[in-house]
Amino acid sequence: MVKTIKFALVSALLFSSSIQAADRVTGEMHATRSEVIAPQAMAATSQPLATQVALDVMKNGGNAIDAAIAANAALGLMEPTGSGIGGDLYAILWHEKSQRLYGLNASGRSPKGLSYDKLQQELETLGRDDLPPYGMLPISVPGAVDGWFELHSKFGNMPMDQVLQPAIEYAENGFPVSELIAYYWNLSVPRLSPQPGSFKETFTIDGKAPREGQMFKNPELANTYKLLAKNGRYAFYQGEIAKKIDEFMKANGGYLRYEDLAEHDSNWVEPLGVEYKGHTLWELPPNGQGIAALQMLQTLKHFDLAEMGYNSTESIHTMVEAKKLAFEDRAKFYADLDFAKQPIDALISEEYGKKRAELITKRAARTVQAGNPNLTEGDTIYLTTADSDGNMVSLIQSNYRGMGSGVVVPGLGFVFQDRGQLFSMDKSHANVYEPNKRPFHTIIPAFVTKDGKPYMSYGVMGGAMQPQGHVQILINIVDYGMNLQEAGDATRWQHMGSTEPTESQAKYLTDGGYVEIESGVSAQVLRELQQKGHDVRSGNGGFGGYQAIMRDHEEGVYRGASESRKDGQAAGY
């Protein structure tokens, strides 16, 4: 009883005494600003200068695909804490001419020359039973560049040298580092500077991370972009860049080789969709975690969240429980489908969602296991662009763990990702490490259609927060009637502690995990959630960074939004 009273008092201080920054005359009080509305084109990214790059590209004859690539190139420079060409890329795009969605999986594979047994020997030497977060072992083939050229060759309109030119100019001349990016950059420098290569020389000024507002240049990345502009993807996967990577890896104990780069390819995939109250949410199939959002929706459609009310005890409880159920399946079944045939259609089926919904009770579940879907027997950047022709791009790109492995090949200007850390070492697991295999991925773009027409492209950054965020945004709009900006600024929750795809196949959730909730939920609701058995905690960041574009067919305009949790901007013309 004493513990409950103490929690309520702390909650009142943490959650209920925040200073309201401004009183808005219109819209929901929690919104930071109005939606951005424009008739011709829209871009929303996590850095305002990248948003302006995207708009400039479209004003000068490029389309939404060109603009997305240009913005991603700019973010690789301006937000290296969440992106870069050493990482992977996923995209869902609406192509207006063909009136359909396309999905692209541009994630890379593990080195062919690193066997399971050799990796296990390396881990034993390090005194570990899982892959480390930094250094050479978690490096997989970077897929982002191939993703750019796949998107461009199929749908692009502007020559690639013009698409990359704005990022090249910023890399050569410098840009002022924005607030949140400076914060995360400063956290990365101490832990990544000791890694092999030239991280410190490339990403610091006099040994320190750049401050907010300080001008930063990356001439080596400018040169790398120039090679891509001149020689295309060949430069990265077979030409000068590939040869430098191969030479460096051989000299420094890495396993990535020229052959791994030369044989890399991206895959066009069919997005998977689930209908929720007249809106269809589309996600990409594994090796990503996008279908967790679809599983959650199939479960939640059996509850009246609108009647429960926004941020009520019952609505938060029900959504958290649905997340627990979906994430235990995520831990067991999500993997590279080229290596592990999984029951994806059954996992996202309405029948399976109904069976999982029956497991949700009035109390928080402590023990949750993966289901049997055979019913008859995740730091990142997200950006979105839309053009005057009606094309819309939902693109997400990341190095993982912010700035990735910390390994920088001297002269290239970018950090290699550490996505390989997300492999399991359990041989019975679908996501077990194997050579030339894609690891489980957290980054996921989202797209919503309504009545068969493009409705919304959006994303929420942040590891395991992403599918939870996708669901919360859609429910805010569909069930609670929020506009695009209000839906992103609304208070978020994040359940943590679920079994991870890197853990043993035999493991499952036994302690219920815990729920982090942003300020904005009343102390009474927090107390009632605790009384239901939830371990409720305050959150400090990690709730994502949301960007979105909505197509208003009735008025013939785009609506854009970028939340206040990051440095981003939505803008149009």
Q: How do beta strands 514-517 and 536-538 pair?
A: parallel
Walk across the sheet containing 453-460 and list its strands: 36-38, 557-562, 546-552, 453-460, 446-450, 279-283, 272-276
* Paired strand residues for 395: 91, 383
Beta-carbon count within 10 A of 349 CB: 18
The catalytically annotated residue of 380, 385, 449, 499 is 380
Query: Is 515 in a helix, a strand, or coil?
Result: strand
Burial zone of 469 (CB within 10 Å; 0-12 exposed, 13-18 middle, 19+ buried): buried
Taking each helix axis from N to C end, the angle separating 48-59 and 64-78, rounded to the nearest 10 degrees, works out to: 150
* Paired strand residues for 546: 460
The set of residues, in sequence order, having a beta carbon less than 8 Å from that of 564 and lying 6+ positions away, is 32, 489
Q: Alpha-carbon distance 498 to 502, whole Å?
A: 11
Beta-carbon count within 10 A of 22 CB: 9
DSSP E strands: which ranges in 388-533?
392-398, 446-450, 453-460, 493-496, 514-517
DSSP 26: S
3-state per-residue secondary structure call for 280-327: EEEECCCCCCCHHHHHHHHHHCCCCHHHHCCCCHHHHHHHHHHHHHHH
* Contact criterion met (CB below 8 Å) for 560 and 548: yes
* Contact criterion met (CB below 8 Å) for 489 and 311: no
Rg (CA), the chain: 23
Burial zone of 308 (CB within 10 Å; 0-12 exposed, 13-18 middle, 19+ buried): middle
Is 380 an active-site residue?
yes
Question: Active-site residue numbers?
Answer: 380
